């Protein structure tokens, strides 16, 4: 449940639709799905496995397992890079989550009633131009996140997610139903699912792979930290497959709800980060009971973002408290402060925002994942790996082992090379 909470977040509802829109739709979506299946799931199993075996925070997990395997202690760099990536992501994540919080209040006040592309569009650009308002919401979100992490994440989080996920899903289905009736459903559907490979550049392939890592919270230690809290008798492979399935389902439903509205209302699919914040309020503003649905929806987006943000700073906090004798509150407070300052940077400069987004999703997470795969399948003893995955049969184990050893790392590297190549061609 906690891992689902980490995975399902702004990545699914906000980021996936807008990057699918910017990268031409169908072919991008296909590459993304293939990356989830062939790269994301195997590496996610590896990441959980490492955490559960070592039962420590990501930095100490890597140090401990490297020592156990007689390998260099440099492997702990995976943990370091993860803590840094978590902070970097939190910097822009909390700004976007802040927008969602603002939309809770706006929806409740009926701001979007009868809204159209122009009025909602104007509302969104006013919000993103108001530094004060954004700072207020971004700070609120940071404080909420710090409060839970300081109190210790594992308690309560599972229950919150158990309640929130189904409600979020139902609301997405309501939106999907509305989109089906009132939106241009065929246009939306064919945009997302007809594969036009001529629209696919090296950059799009990299973005699709990066997003597979981002949406699964993969490659930065969050999943490793949750793995370390996972009971020894729970099945890693089953848990990972469930999380990946739910995560993908929510992203696809969000996309199918959003794009028909985009086409029916004359919004550009490539409108960028505002795509969800402009298209969905139009639907809420024009459906019966829309103010209430809209308010609930943005509350749930806020909660989904919150349960993801918790896992962004948890690895760093766990490391600080386990390594130095400082209390959780101080550790969480300092992580929160650094992320908050970076968030100010993102509010004042959209270039900084985009830079952090690309740096983490397209590079830091895939490199983290690549190293995790190599460590698990080449450095660790096979018998140790086997022990954690004991519940899956010989064939599935071998399939996973082969993909973690060869296929997934090779694919990540190929995509990096293809990106570099297409930069110069």
Pick between residue 104 and residue 312 the one whose CB is nearest to ligand PHE: 312
- Considering only residues 311 to 350 of the shown chain, the ones binding ligand PHE according to CB under 6 A are 311-312
User: Residues 6 or more apart from 70 whose CB is under 8 A from it?
Assistant: none
Q: Which stretch binds ligand PHE (CB under 6 A): 142-150, 287-295, 306-314, 372-380?
A: 306-314
CA 231 to chain centre: 24
In 3D space, the residue among 222, 214, 227 whose CA is nearest the CA of residue 79 turns out to be 222
5 binds ligand PHE (CB under 6 A): no
CA 147 to chain centre: 21
- Closest separation between CB of residue 208 and ligand PHE, Å? 14
Pick between residue 106 and residue 225 the one whose CB is nearest to ligand PHE: 225
Pick between residue 312 and residue 371 the one whose CB is nearest to ligand PHE: 312
- Considering only residues 58 to 117 of the shown chain, the ones binding ligand PHE according to CB under 6 A are 89
Phi-psi region at 381: left, alpha or beta (left = phi > 0; alpha = psi -120 to 50): beta
Q: Which stretch binds ligand PHE (CB under 6 A): 138-146, 154-162, 213-221, 278-286?
A: 213-221
CB 230: neighbour CB atoms within 10 A?
19
The residue number whose beta carbon is nearest to ligand PHE equals 11
- Closest separation between CB of residue 63 and ligand PHE, Å? 21
Q: Secondary structure of 22-67 in the HEC alphabet?
A: HCCCHHHHHHHHHHHHHHHHHHHHHHHHHHHHHCCCHHHHHHHHHH
User: Residues 6 or more apart from 240 whose CB is under 8 A from it?
Assistant: 41, 44, 45, 48
21 to each of 9, 120, 413, how far by Cα in Å? Answer: 18, 19, 25
Pick between residue 96 and residue 271 the one whose CB is nearest to ligand PHE: 96
- Considering only residues 214 to 243 of the shown chain, the ones binding ligand PHE according to CB under 6 A are 214-215, 217, 220, 222
Pick between residue 6 and residue 295 the one whose CB is nearest to ligand PHE: 6
Contact 342, 142 (CB under 8 A): no
- Closest separation between CB of residue 254 and ligand PHE, Å? 11
Q: How many residues bind ligand PHE (CB under 6 A)?
A: 15
11 binds ligand PHE (CB under 6 A): yes
Pick between residue 96 and residue 120 the one whose CB is nearest to ligand PHE: 96
10 binds ligand PHE (CB under 6 A): yes
Site for ligand PHE (CB under 6 A): which residue of 308, 403, 404, 411?
Answer: 308
- Considering only residues 138 to 157 of the shown chain, the ones binding ligand PHE according to CB under 6 A are none
44 binds ligand PHE (CB under 6 A): no
Q: Which residues bind ligand PHE (CB under 6 A)?
A: 6-7, 9-12, 89, 214-215, 217, 220, 222, 308, 311-312
């Amino acid at each position: 449940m906690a891992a689902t909470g980490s995975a399902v977040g702004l990545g699914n509802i906000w980021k996936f639709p807008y990057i699918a829109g910017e990268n031409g739709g169908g072919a991008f979506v296909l590459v993304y799905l293939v990356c989830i299946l062939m790269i994301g799931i195997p590496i996610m199993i590896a990441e959980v496995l490492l955490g559960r075996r070592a039962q420590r925070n990501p930095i100490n997990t890597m140090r401990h397992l490297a020592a156990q395997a007689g390998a260099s202690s440099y492997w702990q760099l995976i943990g370091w890079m993860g803590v840094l990536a978590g902070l970097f992501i939190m910097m822009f994540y909390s700004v976007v989550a802040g927008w969602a919080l603002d939309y809770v209040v706006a929806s409740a006040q009926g701001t979007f009633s009868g809204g159209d592309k122009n009025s909602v569009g104007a509302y969104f650009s006013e919000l993103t131009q108001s530094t004060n308002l954004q700072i207020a919401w971004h700070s609120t979100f940071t404080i909420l996140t710090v409060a839970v992490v300081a109190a210790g994440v594992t308690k309560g989080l599972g229950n919150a997610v158990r309640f929130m996920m189904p409600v979020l899903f139902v609301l997405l289905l309501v939106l999907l139903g509305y989109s089906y009736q009132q939106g241009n459903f065929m246009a939306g559907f064919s945009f997302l699912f007809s594969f036009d490979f001529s629209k696919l550049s090296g950059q799009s392939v990299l973005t699709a792979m990066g997003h597979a890592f981002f949406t699964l919270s993969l490659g930065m230690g969050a999943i490793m930290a949750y793995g370390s809290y996972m009971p020894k008798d729970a099945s890693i492979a089953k848990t990972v497959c469930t999380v990946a399935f739910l995560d993908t389902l929510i992203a696809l439903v969000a996309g199918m709800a959003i794009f028909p509205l985009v086409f029916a209302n004359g919004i550009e699919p490539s409108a960028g980060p505002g795509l969800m914040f402009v298209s969905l309020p139009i639907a809420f503003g024009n459906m019966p009971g829309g103010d209430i649905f809209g308010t609930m929806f943005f509350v749930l987006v806020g909660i989904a973002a919150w349960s993801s943000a918790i896992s962004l700073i948890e690895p760093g906090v766990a490391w600080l408290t386990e390594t130095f004798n400082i209390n959780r509150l101080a550790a969480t407070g300092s992580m929160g402060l650094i992320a908050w300052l970076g968030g100010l940077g993102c509010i004042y400069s959209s270039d900084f925002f985009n830079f952090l987004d690309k740096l983490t999703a397209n590079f830091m997470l895939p490199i983290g994942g690549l190293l995790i795969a190599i460590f698990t399948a080449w450095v660790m003893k096979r018998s140790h790996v086997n022990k954690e995955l004991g519940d899956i049969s010989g064939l599935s184990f071998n399939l996973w082992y082969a993909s973690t050893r060869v296929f997934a790392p090779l694919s990540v590297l190929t995509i990096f090379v293809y990106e570099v190549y297409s930069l110069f061609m």
